[in-house]
Structure 1
């Protein structure tokens, strides 16, 4: 309890210093760019990593850039057995092209107790708070028995290809967490599969349909989409939300399908958009496709149409993003969907991530859970998530924070925000976790 009080005081005294350093990293528009010889994911993500390492050096930490992909700051001397604890977050961000930002997305803005910026929540704010928590523990004169590394990734948003590059040169942590999900400790992540459904339209009606126009991404519910038919433009306006929270948005793909089914002449194309509307409009949990699976550990399957386009083979290609419970298999899902496809349709897998299921009774899961419960007074029972984090790729890793229960659908949108008091609480939780890890001298699986 004494350490918690001391850390809270240090956070209050050093808050403006932390925000000033965080703003330096926020300022870099670290969206994936064109690969270069020494910048595998473009110049800006690497620049953000280098800036974080510069800040870490100013705090007195040893730093290293690994394969131009991930940098780390280490507290404590390296060991012959190479053991260390890891805290891994990412500094790359999704684009900030939305026109309705109320402040420049790459400037850290404060309004009425809320911080706004691209990356403030996902994930610059949380991982930089971990670095600052490491600094506070170091400044208290505490020394870790096992080294602690804060790792800064540069490719989480577009595939986590930075993790294999790191593991080419370094061993994984003996235990670690990523502050890129939610509280309490996340011990399991649902499986993810993206399916492309290609439907042939052979009656020439597709020649009269233009190309689909709009911003579409596998990570979000599309908010605006338009297409022409016989030169007439049809537009559907929706509402963006993360693809793992489709119920919070309005999907412009299904909305456009409903518009098209009402104006298209009878035929294969009209039948196709009728199928799309019937089976997918507001069907966030897949019941009409026969995949409405759920379990007690992870809840309901989540289904989101994320992409639609014409192909050169007189087809319409629709991509579905599916996040499924840890008790269900990908093969079972695909088999059921095949029973409910439109005519002349084929399905293929475009992305596949198996779920994770870390032992809930692991000693360090318990440690993090206890810290979270003491600081917040909230239920600390470990949970699962629909999200995908570095924990899928980095061995011995769980997700831990930064969002509190009830906070959902904030990242990947305009005016991305973090309530300032919540970010302070995160910093306190992470600093206490680092303090407890400093005292640990063994790994208890």
Structure 2
């Protein structure tokens, strides 16, 4: 392995400038999900990113195919069974406050900036480029490799069922869309909407709640105008919903102000006090009788991410990531026992956890590659995140974030250090060689 690793390192050094230039070609496409069109089920920009990526893959000498306009792949080898890498080209919206052009690969002091550089264009393209390097090095591979590019991971992974309707899944592989070391298990996720009714008279004292709210992040800025004419604005700190402790949630900050607002109807003030008391900085379910944990995956994580005034009352949406040894049914029962009276609990997203055998030879092979390249402990781990491993059979998550790197994706000025991206390129290239060279 050391001989091939040295050859890979030399090839990366030689091709670094070309690698970054080609990555920028993909980064410049604002591939946020858009309106479905003919030939573009998830919008024209994700489809355009797919076309540009496959054009590059063809220029590298790979066979390519687009499956039902939703997923594309580049293939090296001719066997029906294959090792697969599953990444995605769609990205979340840029948001505000960037110091760099969001849809361009910028560099400053050794750090690369741009939407998707970490999640997930940079790592996914690194896998394709790593396969290019293996091809150019002409190293012997026993197995076919496919680099698969999805276009809807950020909005629920509705793309992969299109792929699986026509193509067999890989015999094994990974998605470069999480963290290191190898991730053998992903927690269960259930998103719920709590709809609490209020009278029309009470609701009239509260205006619409405005701000950037979505299931992927903790909201950082919310405003509401009261019937009295007073406008209330709160500023928090944005963070991914699977790492709420890194942010300041504008929902609970707003609830704190509203529960003390004299012009608000008393039932609403009482409700917002419950929201504050149950959720403010209680990221691990303490306020919902959900302080659950297990040895494999640690503590449950609970994150409110949307708060809206509706015709029938107040809607509060919450994401819950629960440990792998617990079941969704138990989580929902505990929620129903703690919510405000007459609140309807609606499940709006349900993703069962995954638990791949951590002593599988392929898992151990990836762990060995990681340890050899980094010198760090490669013991397999679990995650709070949700990746393509939940949808594509025989896939585990592997990188790109190293231990201690958390809360970077989905934020303004999304970044990845150049040295880390190049280290990922080395890890992924060596991983592909190791998995495909095994008989």
Give the TM interval when normalised to the shorter protein. Answer: over 0.9
* Residue aligning to 2:348: 350
Shift of 1:438: 2.6
Corresponding residue SS for 2:65: strand
Cα distance in 2, alignment partners of residues 438 and 326 from structure 1:
30
**Partner residue, 1:368:** 366
Aligned partners of 2:83 and 2:436 also within 8 Å = no
CA contact (8 A) 2:112 2:417 kept: yes
| 8 Å Cα contact 1:179/1:401 also seen in 2 | yes
Match of 1:229 among 215, 226, 231: 226
Unaligned runs of 5+ in 1: none
- 8 Å contact kept, 2:216–2:241: yes
Q: Matched residues in 1 for 2:287 and 2:137: separation?
A: 58
Equivalent position SS for 1:380: coil
Deviation (angstroms), 1:143:
3.7
Residue of structure 1 in register with 2:7 after alignment: 6
Number of equivalences: 436
Equivalent in the alignment of 1:25: 26
* Contact 1:190/1:355 (8 A) holds in 2: yes
Q: Distance in 2 between matches of 1:288 and 1:361?
A: 37
Aligned pairs (5 A) from 1:5-404: 5-77=6-78, 79=79, 82-98=80-96, 100-202=97-199, 204-230=201-227, 231-264=229-262, 265=264, 267-313=266-312, 315-404=313-402
How well do the aligned residues superpose, as a CA RMSD in angstroms? 1.0
Distance (Å, rounded) in 2 between the aligned partners of 1:93 and 1:108? 14
CA shift, 1:203, in A, is 7.0
User: How big is each residue's C-alpha offset from its partner over 1:17-46, in whole Å with a ceiling of 9 and x where there is no partner?
Assistant: 000100000010000011011100011101
Partner Cα distance (1:350, 1:435) in 2: 41
Is this contact kept in 2: 1:225–1:236, CA < 8 A?
Answer: yes
Relative to the length of structure 2, the TM-score reads 0.98
Local SS of the residue matching 2:128: helix
How far apart in 1 are the matches of 2:357 and 2:56? 35
Cα distance in 2, alignment partners of residues 34 and 289 from structure 1: 37
Q: Secondary structure at the match of 1:96?
A: coil
Q: State how far apart, in whole Å, the 2-side matches of 1:38 and 1:143 are.
A: 37
Gaps of 5+ in 2: none
Runs of 4+ in 1 over 4 A off after TM superposition: none
TM-score norm. by structure 1 comes to 0.97
2:406 corresponding residue in structure 1: 408
C-alpha distance in 2 between matches for 1:370 and 1:60: 30
